Amino acid sequence: MIDDKQLTAWLATIFVSLAVIFLVFPVPGFGGTGIGHLVGIVGSLLMLMTLIYPYRKRILDKKGRKNPLNPHIYYGIVGPTLVVVHSGHKFASTIGVVVFLGMLLVVLSGIVGRFLFKKVNRSVREQKKEIDTLHDLFRQRKTAISREDLERYLAGQVLYEKDEAETDAPAGEVVYRKCRELQEIAHAIAEGEQAVKTFSTVKTVFTRWILIHIYLSVFLFAMLLVHILSTFYYGFRWL
């Protein structure tokens, strides 16, 4: 069975391949036929259905599992694929070409957003979880060491390793090891927090990237509306 990620990759490949095929081997005239119009209408309706996701997210306040992104992606790839077939890649109408290019950019920006944004998101979440666990461990281990021992260790005065000749050497070694372990946990926390900072910066970049996707979508639907209205105005060729 193929999973969602593979399905998205397959659909995206089909979409991009079709777009390229239609650029190289145009089928002018198909979009104006009865079937051509039907394919275009179904494709446009599917594209409109991509708006269910932002509607549920922003208006109904459904997020996360309550509002999965996958249907959005499927409508957003299958719809434009049908529109590519509908277009037959005919350069006759300027507005049709603008819709086509706008759609191409929306889908491509969506695909990039889907793969990169999700990757970054998951990494931040995982890192934060790891840091929380390390914080818990740090707190737990800290209670087993006295403040004085820690201060001596940090000042480089803890020489328990060299205290072997002394009678309390084994106990001293244990304290030394505990201090060192605590220091290593602290280092791991600092490194993790640094990594989260870097990921957060990248995440900001992708949040902006998705904004581009949204602006392009607004542009696409505006152009689509003009395309549909002009088709009504100039008439259906097959009528």
120 near ligand HEM, rule: CB under 6 A = no
CA angle at 14 for the pair 80 and 83, rounded to the nearest 5°: 20
Distance CA 193, CA 222 (A): 43
Closest separation in Å from C-beta 147 to ligand HEM: 46
Q: Using the rule CB under 6 A, give the single segment among 24-32, 68-76, 87-95, 192-200 that binds ligand HEM.
A: 68-76
DSSP one-letter code for 30:
G
Residue 54 binds to ligand HEM (criterion: CB under 6 A): yes
Q: Candidates 73-81, 146-154, 167-175, 192-200 — which segment interacts with ligand HEM by CB under 6 A?
A: 73-81
List the interface residues with ligand HEM, window 184-223 (CB under 6 A).
210, 213-214, 217, 220
Contact 86, 31 (CB under 8 A): yes
Q: In this chain, which stretch among 31-39, 48-56, 89-97, 172-180 interacts with ligand HEM, using CB under 6 A?
A: 48-56
Contacts within 8 Å (CB) and 24+ apart, 72-75: 73/8, 73/11, 73/110, 73/114, 74/7, 74/8, 74/11, 75/46, 75/47, 75/49, 75/50
Do 73 and 113 contact (CB within 8 A), yes or no?
no
Q: Are 22 and 81 in contact (CB under 8 A)?
A: no
Q: Is 180 helix (H, G, I), strand (E, B) or coil?
A: helix
- The answer to the question of residue 19 lying near ligand HEM (CB under 6 A) is no
Stretch that binds ligand HEM, among 19-27, 33-41, 46-54, 123-131 (CB under 6 A): 46-54
User: What residues between 133 and 192 interact with ligand HEM by CB under 6 A?
Assistant: none
DSSP annotation of 162: G
* Interface segment toward ligand HEM; rule CB under 6 A; list 20-28, 31-39, 54-62, 124-132: 54-62
Nearer to ligand HEM, 34 or 54 (CB): 54
111 binds ligand HEM (CB under 6 A): yes
Report the residue from 36, 43, 80, 192 that binds ligand HEM according to the rule CB under 6 A. Answer: 80
Q: Which of 181, 203, 18 is nearest to 123 (CA)?
A: 203
Rounded to a whole number of angstroms, the minimum distance from the CB of residue 135 to ligand HEM is 28
26: left (phi over 0), alpha (psi -120 to 50) or beta: beta
Give contact residues for ligand HEM (rule: CB under 6 A).
8, 47, 50, 53-54, 57-58, 69, 72-73, 76-77, 79-80, 106-107, 110-111, 113-114, 117, 210, 213-214, 217, 220
